[in-house]
Amino acid sequence: MNKRKLHKKRIFILLSSLVVLIGAVVRTNASKANTSPIRMDEKYPLVEIIHTTDKEKGITIDYPFFHLEEVDQAIETYLKETITPCTNKEQLIVTYEIVHYSQQTVSIIFTEKNKEKSFNHMVTIDLANGKIIRLDDLFKNESDYLSLLSDIAYNELKNKEDILLSNKELAEAAAPTEDRFQEFTLLNKAIIFYLTVGDQMADTQLIISKELLKDMLEDKYISVELNKDRIEDINPPNMITELPKKDIQIAPDQKVIALTFDDGPKKGTTDSILKALRKYDAHATFFVLGSMAEKNPELLRDMVEQGNDVGSHTWDHRLMTKLSEEEMIKQINQTNSLIKEMTGKEATLFRPPYGAYDQRVTSHLGKNTDVILWDVDPEDWKYRNKDHIVQSVLNQAGDGKIILMHDIYKTSAEAAVEIMEKLTAQGYKIVSVSELQEIQKQRELAS
């Protein structure tokens, strides 16, 4: 055989081999995708959409294909382990949305739908190693990140108007467990945690600034540059940039009681109560009148500096349910503005004069504002007798109770000093209302 014929034969063999190889690849991809014309993701054009159908199992799945071997394998494995075939012969349709795609990570929400329900679940993948990131991968081993996330979640859920849960249900929804915070997205400046409360994953997002978590986060996930989205950065609203009040350390079996004082502040009486609170390492809640606070700004600042709560008791003690809409709004807003101006803090506690309120009143309070009434009323405004007030409070005192008093009467202030002494001797920790709420939350978590 001459050299020219031999050369032609080799070329023919080579071309035949390439045709076979290409055909095998096409068949493999066709089998893998089951197959449909190539489609690309609308938001991220470099990402291919794989469409598969399994008629026997009743499943149709769309999922992203990144042309990154380890990443694509991680997604396929995740779907195989996560998607459950329909048992009632109804078609299950699985779709996806890439919510964030950066140089470092990609976060994908998969939605499973059938005739009866729709369910979302998320996966975040480290693109460098093709591994799904779990919560404990994000944080340093020695950090108490679960407690911090739980505190933030509880505080946020409690203040969501569209989530109506009891304290126990709130505690369960924000429980410090890995599974509660397992679905998340790493943004450039924040981390979004998708909490499942019922089936409302999309409506219960916890958007926490990385600055708050930087001491706990693994160094490699702090980067802003690596987590910038490839197309357009998300600028989430309502990013949490401040931590909730630090948990107070109370032994589970220690009794707690909250002292509250209305109608002040007033020189000569309020300051003597503040002095006694310092002495007994105690906190209280002062429901101030705007008209009185305006005259005594230094007392208001002292309250806050000592760690006490300052709540609103309206501007001048009007019966709110009898006021016009305009008068009601003025009573609330004027007092709240004054408290914020003098203390730098929002008033998140409100006590209506005479305990009278209705839906009209609450509709004008801030969404983070709690209406606080009382459990024990010694009627100190009526009985201006120190011994009578002290005995009345002690007779009705109990763990977790809220005591109503007034810091504008000399007899009430004197009684408050003695009450603190006697309650402390009986093993009570005297706390503010916000501290009492936090303690109740901790007890719910522990139960």
Alpha helices in 101-144 (DSSP H): 135-138
Nearest-angstrom CA–CA distance, 187 and 223 = 9
Q: Which is the catalytic residue, given 262, 271, 309, 407?
A: 262
Alpha helices in 214-296 (DSSP H): 270-279, 290-293
Nearest-angstrom CA–CA distance, 80 and 83 = 6
Assigned token pair, 324? 């016009």
100 in active site: no
> What separation in angstroms does the CA of 123 have from each of 98, 126, 184, 293?
10, 10, 8, 52
Under 8 Å between Cβ of 39 and 62: no
User: Three-state SS for 213?
Assistant: helix
Burial class for 285, CB neighbours closer than 10 Å (0-12, 13-18, 19+): buried
Assigned token pair, 398? 């109990």
Q: E strands, 210-279, where? A: 255-262
Residues 6+ positions from 293 with CB-CB distance below 8 Å: 265, 299, 300, 335, 338, 339, 342
- In the block, residue with structure tokens 């002095």: 275
262 in active site: yes
Nearest-angstrom CA–CA distance, 330 and 126 = 53
Nearest-angstrom CA–CA distance, 62 and 48 = 10
> What separation in angstroms does the CA of 323 have from each of 315, 335, 360, 367, 376?
13, 16, 10, 21, 27
> What separation in angstroms does the CA of 424 have from each of 211, 366, 411, 418?
39, 34, 20, 10
Q: Which is the catalytic residue, given 100, 380, 406, 407?
A: 406
**Residue 60 DSSP label:** E
- In the block, residue with structure tokens 């005594």: 296
φ/ψ of 61, rounded to 5, equals -130, 130
The residues annotated with a catalytic role in the active site are 262, 406
